[in-house]
């Protein structure tokens, strides 16, 4: 037999294959149940003694278990015995991720690139675990045979059933008639372990389990600020240098204040590691993004979602992205890029950010909806900015409501056009565009994505992708044009890749330096230097207590300036992303696309779009900065970090296959 622990069984019982998460809403109930399972397993193994008023060590020798041994070591090192409530709160959801990772290694579970977990297909088919020669059925089958089939369970399964019952697992898993039958079966079982009663008591109290005496924690460092304004001035400009300063002066956790709000900031490599491990169980996204959802009149903005519905929506979009024809997408992107470059040539000079934004919106529109959105570029831009401004909350509602209403009407017209073209095809062909998946989801589950929510659910990629691509392209182009040697190298690479004026047979694999330029641009000008979250439960971080409900920022981009990862981090140096250095590939060193449950789904598309467009601009146009612009890139921070509207580029010539020559790629 595989010898799975109660912790493994609890995770497998609660793992929901429709969402890739736990059937309990990630948070207190699941965390408390999992922590109790850890203590029960240690007790059964003869390592600890659990009484109603204290947990004490019996045998501190390790079990060779990556989940149980760290907890055992904590209990053994405690100065005095503490009550079970303290240990349950302290352990919390810490065991979830390592347990799931172990189950993946055993072939019992599988992890998809989105960070979600599912039962392995072989387990789903056979209802047995791989390598289990004793023929013991998987936990869900065993439990349901007890609850609905009247079979007598083993003692371990009795404890598991009682623990699942107090956590509300069966309320999530069973319909009402089955639930009543299960309740009667549970009443016939032996009495629950006292730890189950402890969990029930903590849940009934409606507050997080006590992590420890609050006096035992160090106070979170407060960042000095001005009366009323707090730290608002420091946070109003280019935010990453200010976040770097906070990390240097206060360490990985501090508290900043802006008018009306106190925010705990987790920074640097420590904050990134914590978010990677615990974002789904310890943090929530929906509260911070609620103003944006209200402005969009939708609960289905993927960037603003949280919990099971968010996971479900992400998986739907993930499946669409996997099913797309990337080669066809690249051809369409190159065609649109060349059309826009020809348009710039007629104007002789263009506003840097406006040109990049129009280009990215047109390309994302084709990839997501299969149509041209050229008539709606301004509406989409206004819609994007309105949503961002509404979330910032630093302007009175009356100043933005009119703009939001108008842009929403315009976007509604775009959606009605898309819907009229695509709805007749839904269900009749392989889904290719995002709009198809949204309409299909509405057709199958109208209660999940309602008619009123269709617009925001379909338009979200414009918000999530076009701004990042446009900003990065603008900054990257200015960096390249300011460095003659880098311009020569990038242009030579672009000329070689697009020598036939088409997408090469190998795709974009030949654009290694240009991809490095985009990556370095995102390292310096990260479009999401921090992630806004709310503490789902109370938790400890580096000796400090973060209470449930606390507004938080995870300042992940601080690692981009960390000398432990990057040599001369203030210098723009694309070669740091190439062999042999590969500085950004160190674990936790590069978070430009976010971490955790809200990591960017469109990362591959965005990276391809940045590389293709930058290469196309260098291949098909002669571009230059205006002489009046120095080597510093002027930027604006409102509503996001972008090239300033005064930044322009000159279009001094057009290049085609007959004009590019030699390894330098200079125009003849």
Higher pLDDT, 31 or 3: 31
d(CA 569, CA 578) in angstroms, rounded, equals 15
pLDDT band at 206 (very low <50, low <70, confident <90, very high): low
- Strand ranges in 459-558 using DSSP code E only, listed in sequence order: 531-535, 539-541, 544-546, 551-555
Burial class (CB in 10 A: 0-12, 13-18, 19+), 460: buried
DSSP class of 423: G
d(CA 362, CA 473) in angstroms, rounded, equals 14
**643 bridge partner residues:** 635
CA angle 665-610-472, nearest 5°?
110
Indicate whether 43 pLDDT > 60.
yes
- Enter the tokens of residue 502: 């088409």
d(CA 255, CA 266) in angstroms, rounded, equals 9
What pLDDT digit, counting tens, does each position of 103-122 carry? 999 889 888 655 677 788 78
CB 320 within 8 A of CB 633: no
Average pLDDT over the chain, rounded to whole?
Answer: 83
d(CA 278, CA 281) in angstroms, rounded, equals 5
What pLDDT digit, counting tens, does each position of 345-398 carry? 888 889 999 999 999 999 988 888 888 888 888 888 887 887 777 777 666 565
Higher pLDDT, 659 or 529: 529
d(CA 486, CA 189) in angstroms, rounded, equals 73
d(CA 339, CA 200) in angstroms, rounded, equals 64
Nearest Cα to Cα of residue 326 among 373, 369, 367 = 367
- Using alpha carbons, list the distances in angstroms from residue 64 to 18, 55, 70, 490: 33, 21, 10, 52
Burial class (CB in 10 A: 0-12, 13-18, 19+), 78: middle
Indicate whether 207 pLDDT > 70.
no
Indicate whether 661 pLDDT > 50.
no
pLDDT band at 235 (very low <50, low <70, confident <90, very high): confident
- Using alpha carbons, list the distances in angstroms from residue 506 to 498, 502, 503, 605, 615: 11, 11, 8, 16, 15
CB 460 within 8 A of CB 438: no
Indicate whether 513 pLDDT > 70.
yes
Indicate whether 536 pLDDT > 60.
yes
Number of helices (H) and strands (E), helices first, in the chain? 25, 20
What share of the chain in percent tops pLDDT 90? Answer: 39
CB 556 within 8 A of CB 594: yes
Indicate whether 667 pLDDT > 70.
no
Model pLDDT, residue 396: 59
Spatial CB neighbours of 300, under 8 Å, sequence gap ≥ 6: 309, 313, 449, 453, 456, 457
d(CA 460, CA 296) in angstroms, rounded, equals 10
Domains with residue ranges and CATH for the chain? 6-205 (1.10.3630.10), 302-667 (1.10.630.10)
Q: Which residue is listed with tokens 């950010």?
A: 353
pLDDT band at 665 (very low <50, low <70, confident <90, very high): very low
DSSP class of 128: B
CB 372 within 8 A of CB 362: yes
Indicate whether 209 pLDDT > 90.
no
What share of the chain in percent tops pLDDT 70? Answer: 84
What pLDDT digit, counting tens, does each position of 559-602 carry? 999 999 999 999 999 999 999 999 999 988 999 988 766 777 78
Model pLDDT, residue 346: 87
Model pLDDT, residue 134: 45
Averaged pLDDT, 452-475: 78
Q: Which residue is listed with tokens 């979600």?
A: 116
């Amino acid at each position: 037999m595989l010898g799975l622990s109660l912790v493994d069984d609890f995770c497998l019982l609660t793992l929901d294959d429709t969402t890739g998460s736990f059937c309990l809403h990630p948070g207190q109930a699941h965390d408390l149940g999992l922590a109790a399972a850890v203590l029960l397993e240690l007790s059964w193994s003869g390592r600890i003694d659990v009484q109603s008023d204290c947990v004490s060590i019996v045998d501190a020798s390790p079990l060779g278990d990556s989940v149980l041994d760290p907890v055992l070591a904590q209990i053994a090192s405690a100065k005095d015995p503490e009550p079970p409530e303290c240990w349950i709160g302290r352990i919390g959801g810490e065991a979830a991720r390592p347990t799931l990772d172990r189950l993946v290694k055993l072939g019992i579970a599988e992890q998809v690139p989105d960070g979600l977990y599912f039962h392995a297909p072989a387990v789903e088919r056979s209802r047995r675990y791989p390598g289990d020669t004793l023929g013991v059925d998987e936990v869900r089958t065993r439990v349901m045979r007890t609850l609905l089939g009247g079979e007598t369970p083993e003692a371990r399964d009795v404890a598991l059933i009682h623990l699942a019952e107090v956590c509300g697992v069966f309320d999530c898993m069973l319909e009402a008639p089955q639930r009543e039958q299960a309740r009667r079966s549970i009443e016939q079982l032996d009495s629950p372990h006292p730890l189950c009663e402890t969990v029930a008591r903590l849940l009934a109290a409606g507050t997080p389990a006590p992590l420890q005496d609050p006096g035992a924690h160090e106070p979170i460092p407060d960042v000095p600020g001005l009366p009323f304004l707090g730290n608002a001035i420091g946070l109003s400009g280019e935010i990453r240098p200010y976040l770097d300063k906070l990390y240097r002066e206060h360490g990985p956790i501090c508290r900043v204040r802006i008018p009306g709000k106190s925010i705990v900031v987790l920074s640097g490599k420590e904050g990134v590691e914590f978010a990677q491990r615990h974002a789904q169980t310890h943090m929530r996204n929906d509260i911070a993004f609620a103003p944006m959802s209200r402005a969009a009149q939708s609960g289905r903005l993927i960037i603003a979602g949280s919990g099971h519905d968010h996971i479900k929506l992400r998986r739907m979009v993930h499946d669409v992205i996997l099913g797309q024809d990337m080669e066809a997408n690249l051809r369409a992107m190159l065609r649109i890029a060349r059309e826009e470059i020809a348009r710039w040539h007629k104007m002789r000079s263009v506003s840097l950010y406006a040109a990049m934004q129009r280009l990215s919106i047109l390309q994302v529109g084709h990839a997501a909806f299969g149509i041209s959105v050229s008539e709606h570029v301004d509406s989409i831009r206004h819609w994007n900015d309105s949503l961002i401004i509404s979330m910032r909350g630093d302007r009175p509602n009356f100043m933005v409501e009119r703009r939001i209403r108008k842009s929403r009407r315009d976007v509604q017209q775009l959606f009605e056009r898309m819907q009229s073209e695509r709805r007749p095809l839904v269900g009749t062909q392989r889904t290719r565009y995002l709009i198809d998946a949204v309409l299909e989801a509405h057709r199958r589950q109208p209660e999940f994505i309602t008619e009123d929510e269709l617009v925001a659910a379909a338009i979200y990629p414009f918000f999530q992708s076009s701004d990042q691509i446009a900003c990065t392209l603008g900054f990257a182009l200015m960096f390249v044009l300011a460095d003659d040697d880098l311009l020569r190298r990038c242009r030579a690479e672009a000329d070689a890749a697009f020598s036939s004026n088409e997408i090469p047979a190998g795709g974009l694999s030949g654009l290694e330096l240009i991809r490095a330029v985009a990556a370095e641009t995102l390292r310096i000008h990260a479009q999401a230097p921090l992630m806004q979250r709310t503490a789902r439960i109370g938790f400890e971080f580096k000796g400090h207590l973060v209470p449930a409900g606390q507004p938080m920022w995870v300042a992940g981009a601080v690692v981009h300036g960390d000398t432990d990862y990057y040599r001369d981090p203030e210098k723009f140096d694309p070669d740091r992303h190439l062999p042999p250095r590969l500085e950004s590939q160190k674990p936790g060193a590069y978070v430009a696309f976010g971490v955790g449950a809200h990591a960017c789904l469109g990362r591959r598309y965005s990276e391809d779009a940045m590389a293709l467009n930058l290469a196309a601009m260098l291949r098909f146009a002669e571009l230059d900065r205006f002489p009046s612009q120095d080597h510093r890139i002027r930027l604006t921070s409102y509503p996001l970090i972008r090239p300033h509207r005064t930044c322009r580029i000159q279009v001094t010539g057009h290049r085609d296959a007959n004009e590019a020559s030699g390894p330098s790629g200079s125009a003849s």
